[in-house]
Homo-oligomer: A and B are copies of this chain.
Amino acid sequence: MKKKLNIGLVGYGFMGRTHSNAFLQTNRFFDTPYDPVLKAVCARNAERVRSFAANWGYESTETDWRALVERTDIDLVDIASPNDTHAEIAVAAARAGKMVMCEKPLGRTATESEAMVTAVERARVPNMVWYNYRRVPAVMLLKQLIDEGRLGTIFHYRAKFLQDWTISRDLPQGGEGLWRLDVAVAGSGVTGDLLAHCIDTALWLNGSISEVTAMTKTFVKERKHNLTGRVEPVGIDDASAFLCRFENGSLATFEATRYARGHKALYTLEINGEHGSAMWDLHDLHRIQWFDHRDEGRLRGWRSIHVTDGDQPYMKHWWVPGLQIGYEHTFIHQFADFLQALAADRSAAPTFRDALATDDVTDSVLRSAKTGRWEKVPSRVQVA
């Protein structure tokens, strides 16, 4: 008999949908010990939150997250609302003894994130941040290869996240769907939005980053603000790039932008080691490119591996070889892993603390972009 897990979701946007889908789909494909119950969804617009609840099967709605957090019939608070709400909700939820899941980035700054880490660790509640790309089967396969030592000493890492959706000067900032352009809400631009994904994966695959040197740019300096109706300065970074050194001695380049015409959501990563190299690309997320120097010389080449076989990560739960899954499945995998960890009384990675490490890097990047200097990434001692 599965154990009920009562979920209260905050936010009904893009991420509210991906999370809700994960809650509903996980047990159809994965055998977990929990039965997720969509207890309540919370958002400010009462009419629209009711419509969302009806569509996804939430039992009730709230319009004030404080009420949600206080409800005794909620086990887990899942935060899928804009970045400026993450810290306050997470801290309150932890204090109320709820498990907490939070969309990325954790906070708008490492300072906010630190408070969130402190709250969940003090409350000893399971917690997780939705850096979903770790759960792409192809990326997980790459993680396996690295952990098995198949690449040998790592020399290089490079990651990019390229989009092109904000090039038009007519695009306003702020409000629903466009809060990512409003620095007060988002905290930063592509650094916290896109680079944060690249950094989370990189820290997981390649270890800690020691120091960075960065540049950022805001191409469009003013945009109409949807909430005020006035043309206002744009406070976010439209593009952000940095060089860095990892603690394992490897060098890396990172770049994110929303001004790379022709790229919708091109998150690519590559890692080069002594014996092998691997690449991945979100636009064809079910493939990795793998080069093994130990293959016979005249037959060496990059293998395009179609990650859809039962012996590849997560794929035995889905269809048959050759039939791909998509973007939404990464959230299903992450929630399945969360439930499995919960059964073992653990948090699933990335925890709030893991995500704080990413924020430490993004903070360093933004700092370096201002100082024009190499900036050390702070190293934190894990609370015992």
Contact = CB atoms under 8 A, between A and B. Distances in A.
Interface in A318-333: 318-329
Task: Specify the main secondary structure of chain A where it touches its partner.
Answer: mixed
A272 B298 contact: no
B260 A272 contact: yes
Contact of A298 (B167, B257, B309): B309
Contact of A213 (B28, B257, B372): B372
B167 A274 contact: yes
Given A261-B291, A277-B260, A304-B304, A298 B311 contact: yes
Interface in A251-289: 251, 253, 255, 257, 259-266, 272-277, 282-287
A71 interface: no
A325 B322 contact: no
Given A55-B28, A156-B259, A259-B156, A243 B245 contact: no
A320 B265 contact: yes
A14 B145 CA distance: 30
B305 A301 contact: yes
Contacts of A381: none
Contacts of A273: 261
Contacts of A217: 251
Nearest to A279: B262
A50 interface: no
A298 B306 CA distance: 9
Contacts of A323: 265, 282, 326-327
Contacts of A262: 272, 276-277, 291, 293, 300, 302
Contact of A243 (B21, B145, B242, B259): B242
Interface in A222-265: 239, 241-243, 245, 251, 253, 255, 257, 259-265
B303 A260 contact: no
Interface string A308-350: 1101100000111111111111000000000000000000000
Contacts of A276: 261-262
Nearest to A302: B304
A178 interface: no
Given A21-B28, A28-B56, A297-B309, A275 B261 contact: yes
Residue from the set A55, A283, A320 with the largest chain B CB neighbour count within 10 Å = A283
Residue from the set A325, A328, A372 with the largest chain B CB neighbour count within 10 Å = A328
Contacts of A167: 155, 274
A241 B252 CA distance: 9
A6 interface: no
B300 A245 contact: no
User: Which A-B residue pairs are the 5 nearest by beta carbons?
Assistant: A265-B322, A264-B322, A262-B291, A301-B303, A301-B305
13 contacts: A214-B243, A241-B243, A261-B274, A261-B291, A262-B276, A264-B306, A264-B320, A284-B284, A290-B299, A290-B301, A299-B303, A300-B305, A372-B373
Given A141-B298, A155-B167, A262-B272, 18 more contacts: A24-B28, A156-B257, A213-B372, A266-B322, A284-B287, A285-B324, A290-B299, A300-B305, A301-B305, A323-B326, A324-B326, A324-B327, A325-B326, A325-B327, A325-B328, A326-B326, A372-B373, A373-B373
